[in-house]
Structure 1
């Protein structure tokens, strides 16, 4: 059953600045923006954010979410909520400042009817709202339309989230219990200040599965693992993915200088670093739940790497290799490599390592010819292992 999401950015943090919890920096964005991306990834068709005031940070978050195709709107009063909330879909309610691991949100999204995520009462959950003698609400609930609008009709000035939770408890809502380990390690947490937000972000990122991308070849086996180590550090330093992507393009452009000066090995090494930075930018997008960038900025670095290899050779062999790599690059980036395994995909990173070794052995021309042969075999593997229509 389709559902919408109701978030809140009304409560102040414990920081001396008095910033809203929803405006705290979390995983490269505001906390409420991260919550919205979690809900959208789980399948929410619409995101409503209840606010006490429309701040610049909230407006910018809405603009970024809308640019990524997420339907989001700000709700300032109960009348607007009653008007904009869908009457034919359940509502996924996330507590103000609450971070819940994506797995729990996905599980809640697949259920129907009234449901609550709860945690056992303990010292670790003391900040959570108590719902009975043994359990506390872990900040995530799914509310059916009849219960939602029945509660909104009589809510008055009461706390919206807690009133909905109490109504769900009285209605006998199904309960899912969060793991105590997830609570202790911060993957289910109520974020109350910026320092706490940074610790929780680190725990959530570390707990997420290492999703595989489409990259094959040297990128898959060597550069991507390095990118996975660097990306969390950059994320905690609040460095956006676009800045890293621009740095990758700049590095690739600078690499053309030593290549033109016949310092081939130096230029090839710089191109390898540029590819690693590009993969790091992809990883930053993934960690912040943003859609993967497949536009020209993402393609620029590997294309420039292919051009650099053509310049390093200085002949038609280099041009042929660059064209073959361009075809493989597009197929790999779009996930159209059939059933070819990563080691069968001769990516620009693989070709750079191939030519770097040949350059160190002073046989670049032979290296280019052999790279052309390997690239041709790679294309053949991608075609022959493609599933039959």
Structure 2
């Protein structure tokens, strides 16, 4: 069944501004609501708003630039014309910050549904339904119900009236699970804890030593600063790729330390890019070319360093080490891509290799690094081979 979304954006917060414009994760609450609705598969996404101040219009423009079609309307009658009578409509109340997982689950429902929270002190600002429950601010309503309600609305509040009429029509009540409840925000302070939970949730599993133990402070700091800017996640991937290729060029010119610093600077950028994508509900696809090219670009930098060492006293052994290491690293990547086995974080990765290079660079042991990375990549390859073989042996019936 088709799904649309209707979001309220007309009530004031405690300071007299629109609650929809409260800051959340570097953007505004209305942008978060629209992105969540889009992620749940809703289209069109209609925003009910009495007036459109400059800040709200700017938020709509940012959403449109991301390819999200937002339709502002000024009353219920106009809102009703934007939906088909046969579709379900995801209703999100004014000032409601709902967890994405909750809305994604609603996107798979096929009948009218009202999410509730307990009628207790913690939820006293939510609209009461009965003696034991209140409206969470999120519901699924029938398109026909919206049209009928808009026709008789008058001066009544549309979301509240829709709620009442949906309940009278037999909409199913479902309690939001504890810890996954929508939040009703009327000031920025109410959103702080929700924002912290979003930032924490954006930090996915770290699979190598560098990202697990070295880079988290840098990654957290950069994520919190960049989420407040207009920097796009994919731009960081392009920058990481450009820095890596730039480091390869610097190695060929003998600018060894500038190349090392450039590689170190590139190491957290893809992690930060992924987190920005998650925070803005536009995750970076795993097969994005700029991300896939980081691995071969790292190999190019390794070979560039070996070429410099070959021409300046190390002989052809340095180039052979680099080429062999690159081959082992690629073979390791192939093996890793075809197994679901949990691998230890010490195995070879682009970031681990960069910080290994930094350690050898401190001692000016450039050729020593090339030998070490050959050992590192070969051990990683044979270790993952061993793990895969062991699992296959265990699964083979005797």
TM-score band, normalised by the shorter chain? Answer: 0.7 to 0.9
Please show how residues 1-389 of structure 1 align to structure 2 within 5 Å: 1-15=1-15, 18-181=16-179, 188-206=182-200, 208=201, 210-212=203-205, 217-218=208-209, 221-222=212-213, 225-226=216-217, 229-230=220-221, 233-234=224-225, 238-242=228-232, 245=236, 264=256, 267-292=259-284, 308-313=301-306, 314=308, 315=310, 316=319, 320=323, 337-339=337-339, 346-360=348-362, 362-368=364-370, 371=373
Residues in 1 aligned to 2:212 and 2:252: alpha-carbon distance in whole angstroms: 29
Residues in 2 aligned to 1:25 and 1:63: alpha-carbon distance in whole angstroms: 16
State the SS of the aligned residue for 1:130.
Answer: coil
Q: Is the 8 A contact 2:116 2:173 kept in 1?
A: yes
In structure 2, runs of 5+ residues without a counterpart are: 311-318, 389-398
Q: TM-score, normalised by structure 1?
A: 0.76
State the SS of the aligned residue for 2:337.
Answer: coil
Change (3 A) 1:143 1:219: farther
- Compute the displacement of 1:284 (Å): 2.0
Residues in 2 aligned to 1:302 and 1:223: alpha-carbon distance in whole angstroms: 20
In structure 1, runs of 5+ residues without a counterpart are: none
Change (3 A) 1:209 1:59: closer
Residues in 2 aligned to 1:66 and 1:338: alpha-carbon distance in whole angstroms: 39
Q: TM-score, normalised by structure 2?
A: 0.75
Q: Is the 8 A contact 1:231 1:284 kept in 2?
A: no
Q: How many residues align?
A: 374
Q: Is the 8 A contact 1:116 1:173 kept in 2?
A: yes
When the two chains are superposed, the root-mean-square deviation of aligned CA atoms in Å is 4.2
Say which one has the larger Rg.
2
